[in-house]
């Protein structure tokens, strides 16, 4: 599944290709993904417009133009790849974007949990408006997170993965940051001290940055050199390691299920 680091890498790959370029044509091969695609509206607002910037919030990618932004989400299986022509190469190519630089970008999403929507500059879009701060920005400070979590009885793991509190933190990065900061995943979010929030946010930012750095190599896939999905295979310290020895204390890594997702943690190192 594309996580925040993959979306950041994609943003960085797109910037030199489409920033300040005119989006000349959009071809949609279907009218809905997770939500209906507002094709007429997008055509009216985006076609012929210069892309002023490519931005990211959480796992959403924004192609900004004068009146707002086209917002893309990759869902469970989405990719954006550069191809030599508008002709679909992959089976699940749902949209093609042609730029004045003769760049063709294909949006591919076999499971169709992704989305493409329009966010007006003034009112935004409900998907974005209710998002918490992006974890890589200064807005996601320990002070602010502690304030958000005040009186919350939910577990810290569920809190980290709640997009209304913090944008785009997936299961892998929640597990990794809790392990690295020694915080038990079942600890109540509202009872975490400011000092521990400080450690947690530092570790979260660090593990995300490490993955972004490691992701440079997957740009090969973006440019179409091979057919693999190209999601990061960063070696994680706790995620997916049930029954394997903890890298700190050698005790066996445990697993529990929280809000339907597996949490991997060390009973000895995380309190």
249 binds Zn ion, rule: CB under 5 A? yes
Q: Rounded to whole angstroms, what are the CA distances from 26 to 44, 46, 100, 144, 270?
A: 11, 9, 12, 40, 49
Question: Residue 234 or 254: which CB sits closer to Zn ion?
Answer: 254
The answer to whether residue 120 is catalytic is no
**How far is it, in rounded angstroms, from Cα 142 to Cα 133?**
12
256 binds Zn ion, rule: CB under 5 A? no
Are 141 and 64 in contact, with CB atoms under 8 Å apart?
no
At its nearest, how many Å lie between Zn ion and the CB of residue 99?
A: 50
268 binds Zn ion, rule: CB under 5 A? yes
Region near Zn ion per CB under 5 A, out of 13-21, 188-196, 210-218, 259-267: 259-267
Catalytic residue among 2, 133, 135, 142: 2
At its nearest, how many Å lie between Zn ion and the CB of residue 207?
A: 17
Question: Going by C-beta distance under 8 Å and a sequence separation of 6 or more, which residues neighbour residue 69?
Answer: 55, 62, 63, 118, 119, 121
Phi-psi sector, 174: left (phi>0), alpha (psi -120 to 50), beta: alpha
**How far is it, in rounded angstroms, from Cα 36 to Cα 32?**
4
The answer to whether residue 3 is catalytic is yes
Region near Zn ion per CB under 5 A, out of 90-98, 103-111, 121-129, 247-255: 247-255
246 binds Zn ion, rule: CB under 5 A? yes
Near Zn ion in 83-142, by CB under 5 A: none
Query: Which pair of tokens denotes residue 254?
Result: 């445990």
**How far is it, in rounded angstroms, from Cα 225 to Cα 157?**
37
Q: Which residue is nearest to Zn ion (CB)?
A: 246
At its nearest, how many Å lie between Zn ion and the CB of residue 156?
A: 17
248 binds Zn ion, rule: CB under 5 A? yes
Region near Zn ion per CB under 5 A, out of 42-50, 52-60, 83-91, 261-269: 261-269
Catalytic residue among 59, 79, 98, 146: 59
Among all chains, which residue has been given the structure tokens 């992704």? Answer: 114
At its nearest, how many Å lie between Zn ion and the CB of residue 249?
A: 3
Q: Rounded to whole angstroms, what are the CA distances from 224 to 6, 8, 12, 52?
A: 16, 18, 16, 25
At its nearest, how many Å lie between Zn ion and the CB of residue 266?
A: 3
Region near Zn ion per CB under 5 A, out of 79-87, 154-162, 188-196, 238-246: 238-246
Question: Residue 94 or 157: which CB sits closer to Zn ion?
Answer: 157
Please provide the size of the chain in residues: 271
Question: Residue 111 or 268: which CB sits closer to Zn ion?
Answer: 268
**How far is it, in rounded angstroms, from Cα 32 to Cα 96?**
14
266 binds Zn ion, rule: CB under 5 A? yes
Beta-bridge mates of residue 28? 95
Residues contributing to the site for Zn ion (CB under 5 A): 246, 248-249, 266, 268-269
Return the active site residues: 2-3, 59, 261
């Amino acid at each position: 599944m594309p996580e925040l680091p993959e979306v950041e890498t994609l943003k960085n790959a797109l910037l030199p290709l489409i920033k300040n370029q005119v989006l000349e044509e959009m071809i949609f091969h279907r009218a809905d993904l997770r939500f209906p695609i507002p094709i007429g509206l997008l055509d009216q607002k985006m076609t012929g417009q210069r892309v002023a910037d490519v931005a990211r919030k959480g796992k959403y990618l924004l192609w900004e133009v004068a009146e707002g932004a086209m917002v893309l989400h990759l869902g469970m299986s989405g990719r954006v790849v550069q191809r030599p022509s508008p002709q679909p190469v992959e089976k699940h190519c749902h949209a093609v974007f042609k730029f004045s630089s003769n760049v063709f970008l294909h949006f591919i999403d076999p499971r169709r949990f992704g989305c493409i929507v329009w966010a007006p500059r003034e009112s935004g879009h409900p998907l974005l408006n209710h998002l918490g701060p992006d974890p890589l920005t200064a807005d996601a400070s320990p002070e602010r997170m502690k304030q958000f979590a005040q009186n919350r009885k939910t577990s810290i793991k569920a809190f980290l993965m709640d997009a209304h509190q913090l944008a785009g933190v997936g299961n892998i990065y929640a597990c990794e940051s809790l392990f690295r900061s020694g915080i038990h995943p079942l600890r109540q979010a509202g009872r975490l001290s400011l000092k521990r929030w400080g450690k947690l946010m530092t570790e979260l930012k660090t593990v995300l940055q490490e993955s972004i750095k490691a992701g440079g190599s997957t740009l090969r896939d973006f440019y179409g050199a091979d057919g693999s999905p190209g999601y990061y295979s960063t070696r994680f310290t706790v995620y997916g390691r049930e029954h394997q020895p903890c890298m700190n204390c050698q005790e066996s890594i445990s697993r529990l299920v929280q809000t339907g997702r597996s949490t991997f943690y060390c009973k000895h190192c995380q309190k």
